Structure 1
Amino acid sequence: MTSSRTRTAVGARAALVGAAVVATAAATALTAAPADAAPPGAVTISGTPISVVQWPAIGLQFSGLVVPMPALGNVTAATTGTRGRTRLAAPFPATTCSASGGGALVSINWLNTTNGRSGNATVKPCTNFLDPTPRYRDVATGSGQIVLSTHLIGSRPYPNAAQPSLPGVGGFLAP
């Protein structure tokens, strides 16, 4: 049984980590120029890129030679042309899409700490994977500081894709 002090200390540390992510995301979004180069194999989404500070969700995948590799669920964000709407995606590189992790989906839970809006967006990270889940989602985040938690989840045809996995966390400043 854990004591009240232990739970309070753990909760306080988690709140500090969350506040640090949001503060770093806000500072980075205000000072960073839009990224010119996408990572190898990334899917380009329209709109102006928004800098996202994050620890990606990490899963396990295997290549055709049964070599274990990490599958990383990095979230990208961009403007949509409508104030308060943000386009969220999580493109995998080509090496992941050609391995067993290519059948995974990325679940993005978001919270706007400025206005209290929250939601979930599940996206398909590989364009060549036949699944009805869209590659990106336009969500009504509103303007302000957005905190993310990401999870690699299996899809209907491949429920164990990229499993086991660890969740990720991040944040950005929505215009």
Structure 2
Amino acid sequence: MHFVFMGVSGSGKTTVAVRVAKELGLPFAEADDFHPRSNVDKMAAGIPLTDEDRRPWLHELADWIGEQEALGESTAMACSALRRSYRDILRAAAPGVCFLHMDGPAEVILGRLEARSGHFMPSALLQSQLQTLEPLEPDEEGREFDVRADSDTLAGQALEYVRERMRGTGA
């Protein structure tokens, strides 16, 4: 199984994904680390990425999932995965890609963005991400998690969900 913790910047996807990966001993990938410098520079300047900017990045992430699948590893990844078409690219990499959508009110996420430091993504891009976001559709494997919960609660809920999914597949 491959678990992609998705959502807009500031939703807590990395915090939760790291905790779940550590608890279960899963290989972890932070999608931001796969961005080319040009994408990081563009976002840091407050310019939203286009689908064309994202496509090579998404394929590189899918390659990582495929490599882990070939090794027989289940994984955890933090990735915005905002559009269904982006998730389709990730899903095509291996069977058993499941999405955990960290979602909640824009004002909660904005507060988190404004409180953090050291990240290239400015809070000014939140609105663009929210406009791009396509929630999980009924036929997509995954679940939504409410980010109004504290990080311990979210991590516990996500861990329970991942464990259930892994038990169900024998992974």
TM above 0.5, yes or no, is no
| Rg (Cα) greater in structure | 1
TM-score, structure 2 length as denominator? 0.27
Structure 1 or 2: more helix by fraction: 2
Higher relative contact order (CA 8 A, sep 6+): 2
Structure 1 or 2: more strand by fraction: 1
